[in-house]
Amino acid sequence: MIDVIHLLPDHVANQIAAGEVVQRPASVIKELLENSIDAGASSVKVLIKEAGKTLVQVTDDGKGMSLTDARLCFERHATSKINSAEDLFSLKTKGFRGEALASIAAIAHVELKTKQDGDEVGTCIKIEGSEVISQEACVTPVGSTICVKNLFYNIPARRNFLKSDTVEIRHIIDEFQRVSLAHPSIQFSLFHNGSELFQLPKSIYRQRIVNIFGGKTNEKLVPVEEDTEIVKVHGFVGKPQFAKKSRGEQFFFVNDRFIKSPYLNHAVTAAFEGLLKEKAYPSYFLFLEVDPKSIDINIHPTKTEIKFDDEHSLYTILRSAIKHSLGQFNVAPVLDFDRDATLDTPYEFSQRGITAPKVEVDHNFNPFQSEKQGGGYSGFRRDKQGGSWESLYTGLDQKDFNASSAINQIEFESDAVTGNLFGNSEDKEAGSTTFQLNKKYIVTTLKSGILVIDQHRAHSRILYEELLKNITVTSAVSQQLLFPLLLQFSTNEIEMLKEVKESLEQTGFIFSEFKKDSVEITGIPTLISESEVAILLEQLLSDLENEVPGSSFSQVDVLSKSLAKGMAVKSGMHLNSAEQQNIVNSLFACKESSLSPYNRPIFITLTVDELDKKFM
C-alpha cells in the first residue's frame, strides 16, 4: 500500500495558520499591539500606509528582546507566556498561542528591530514568506519596532478579498480603540498616510473614553461599580437619551481583554428595559475582572470569545449593577418605600435652628390716598398732566365707545409660515379622489377597483430617486441656516462623514468646517428641519457602517436610501388632500413605483371582483 499522509512543510503550515489569525491589516495591528503591551511598553506608536496594505509599523518602548529571542519569536508556537498546559488557566497576558508573528511573517515582508536595556547594539531581522533574509546588529532605541510590508504578497487570492481603504481603515480604528481603551495607562498614537488620527496621552478610564469618542461623551456617562466574589465590575454606561441606532460604542473587557458576548450584551439591554426607544442601543464600556481559572480564552484564534464557568451569575450581577447605577444617578426612577424622608434635606440645613416666620405690615399704606395727602405711599402714580388715578379711566362710560370694534383693530403677530413637503398645501377636500386611512395609508380609486398606498414607503421611493438624481446629475436646493449647527461625533464617524461629504453636499448639505470631534453645518436640504439633522446623520452613519460599502456607486446608493428613509413622511402623520394627491402623482412618475428603496411593496390593489367575493 502507498502511504498518503505526510507532514506539511513549515511555510505551508504557517500560511494555513495565518488564515485563522490574520484576516486583514487590522488583525496584524491587534497582534502587534498586544505584544507591545506584554513587553511592558509605556508608549506605543502605530504608522500605517494605504490602510495597512503597504505598511504597518508598530514602535514601542518596552523591554525589547535579545538576539536569540528575536530569532526565535518567528517560530511556530514560540512563546514566553506559558510553559505547561496548566498555565492556560492562569493567563494574565495577551499573546500566548505563539502563532501571531510566525503567521504574519509567512504572508508578508517583515523587519524587526529590537534592543534590550543595557545592550550596546540591537538586532535587525528581515523575513520574507517565513524565510530569513538577513540578521545583523543595528543601532536602535530600547524597545521594539516591527514593520510589516506588502501584506498577502504571496497569496494574491487573499489580497483580492480585502475591501477598499475606507473599509479597512475603519476596521483598523476599531481594533486600535479596543486595545487602547483597555490600557489607559499607556500612551497610544495612530497615523495614517502621514496624518494623525489619534493621540491618546496616559490617563484614567473615563478620560481615555472621552479622548477617543469626543468631549461631549463625558456628560453621557454613568459610572458602574460592583465588587463581588465572582466578578468585579467597573466602567460606564451611556444615558438612555443618548442611545444610538447602531452598536458602535459597546465594549466588554474581561481582565483587560476585549471580548464579544451576546449573552452579556443581553444583560445590559435587560437593565435598560423601559428606558430606550425602539431600535435604540445603549453605549457601554464595562470592565470585568474574574479569576483566570474561571474562564477559557483558548477557544478562538483571535481570542475575542471567552467561555465562562458561571455565565448565569455574571448575567445577574451585571444586570443588577447597571440597574443600581441608573437608579442611583437618577437616570431611572427608583421605588424605595423604606426611604428616609430626611435624606432629602440638604446637608447645610441639618444644624440650622428653627425660627418662626416673620410678617411685616406697613400700617400707613393706603392705596386710595393720593401722593399730595401726607402719609403713606399711594399704589398709583399720577399721570403727566397731574391728574389723579381716576383720570386713567376717563371716557370708559361714553356711549360712543365700541369695545368690540377696538379689539378688532388690534393687530396680532402671525406665526411664521413654514414651507411644507409638497409645495401648495391648500386643502381642497371638495372633489378629492383620495383619503387617508389611519394616518398610514392613502386610498384612491381606479377604474378596476381600489388602490391602497403606504405613505412612508411611497415618499421614500420618490425621495430616493430624487436624491440619486441630485447626487449623480444635478445639485439640490439648500436652505441657509441663520446660526451654524455644531454636531459632535467620534473620530471614526467624522472620517465616515468626510468620505460622503461630496455626495451630501449634492443633496443640499453645506459643511463649513470639519474638526477632530465635531462638524459645523451652515446649510441643509429644504425638505428637512434643523431639529432633524442630527437624527438623520446618525441614522446615515449607522446605515453606512452596517452596509460597509466597498465602491463609490454602492456608497451613493446607501446614502440615498438612508436619507430618503429619514426624510420621508412617517406613519401617523396627517396629510391633507393636496399632499396625498402629490404623493400619488409623484409615485407613478417614478421609474420604479411598485417597490420601496428597500424592496418592500408600496401599494396593493383591490379589484371589484375581489370586493364582490367579500359580500358573497
Q: Which of 358-362, 516-520, 533-537, 593-597 has the highest mean pLDDT?
A: 593-597
pLDDT category at 458 given cuts 50, 70, 90 is very high
For the CA atoms of 484, 488, 492, 496, what is the dihedral angle to 10 degrees? -30
> What is the reported pLDDT for 22?
82
Dist. CA 230–CA 223, nearest whole Å? 20
CA distances in angstroms from 602 to 344, 346, 445, 568, 574, listed in the order given: 56, 60, 16, 13, 18
What is the C-alpha to C-alpha distance for residues 50 and 212, in angstroms, rounded to an integer? 22
**What span, in angstroms and rounded, lies between the C-alpha atoms of 70 and 73?**
6
What grid cell was written down for 361? 405690615
What pLDDT band is residue 94 in, cutting at 50, 70 and 90?
low
Look at residue 501 in the predicted model and tell me its pLDDT: 86
Burial degree of 181 (CB within 10 A; 0-12, 13-18, 19+): buried
**pLDDT (average), residues 8-18:** 70
pLDDT of 142 reads 92
Q: Is the pLDDT of residue 213 over 60?
A: yes
Q: What are phi and psi of 216, to 5 degrees?
A: -70, -10
Q: How many CB atoms lie within 10 A of CB 399?
A: 5
Average pLDDT over residues 33-59: 91
Percent of the chain with pLDDT over 70: 78
Domain with CATH 3.30.1370.100 in the chain: 434-604
Looking at domain 10-200, its CATH class is alpha beta
Q: Which residue has the cell 519569536?
A: 73
Radius of gyration of the chain (CA): 35
List 453's β-bridge partners, or say none: 442, 603
pLDDT digits (tens, 9 = 90+) for 558-603: 888 888 888 888 888 888 888 888 998 889 888 888 888 888 899 9
CA-nearest of 469, 472, 462 to 595 is 462
> How far, in Å, CA of 277 to CA of 259, rounded?
26
Cα 480–Cα 482–Cα 486 angle in degrees, nearest 5? 90
From the centroid of its chain, how far is CA 127?
40
Provide the 3-class DSSP secondary structure of residue 562. Answer: helix
> How long, in residues, is the chain?
616
**Mean pLDDT value across the chain:** 80
Residue burial 455-471, b: 16+ Cβ < 10 Å; e: rest: bbbbbbbbbbbbbbebb
Looking at residue 101, its pLDDT comes to 85
Range 192-226 burial, b when 16+ CB lie within 10 A, else e: beeeebbebeeeebbebbbbbbbeebeebbbebeb
What is the structure's pLDDT at 244?
A: 80
Dump pLDDT digits (tens) for 272-330: 888 888 778 888 999 999 888 877 776 555 667 777 878 888 899 999 999 988 888 76
- What distance separates the 2 farthest-apart alpha carbons in the chain? 135
Residue from 459, 463, 551, 421 nearest 499 by CA: 551
Boundaries of CATH 3.30.565.10 in the chain? 10-200
pLDDT digits (tens, 9 = 90+) for 338-365: 555 555 555 556 667 777 878 888 888 8
- pLDDT at 76 (0 to 100): 72
* CATH architecture for segment(s) 213-328: 2-Layer Sandwich (3.30)
pLDDT band at 82 (very low <50, low <70, confident <90, very high): low
Mean pLDDT value across residues 5-18: 73
Burial of 249: CB neighbours in 10 Å, binned 0-12, 13-18, 19+ = buried
pLDDT at 42 over 90: yes
**pLDDT greater at residue 70 or residue 77:** 70
The answer to whether the beta carbons of residues 248 and 525 sit under 8 Å apart is no
Q: CATH 3.30.230.10 in the chain: give the residue spans.
A: 213-328
Greater confidence (3 vs 137) lies with 137
How far is the C-alpha of 419 from the C-alpha of 103, rounded, in Å? 61
- Residue 12, SS3 per DSSP: helix
pLDDT at 492 over 70: yes
Q: Please determine, looking at this structure, whether the domain spanning 434-604 carries the CATH number 3.30.1370.100.
A: yes
Q: d(Cα 306, Cα 297) in Å, to the nearest integer?
A: 5
Other residues' Cβ atoms within 10 Å of the Cβ of residue 591: 7
pLDDT of 30 above 50? yes
Question: 251: burial class by Cβ within 10 Å (0-12, 13-18, 19+)?
Answer: buried
Higher pLDDT: 260 or 45? It is: 45
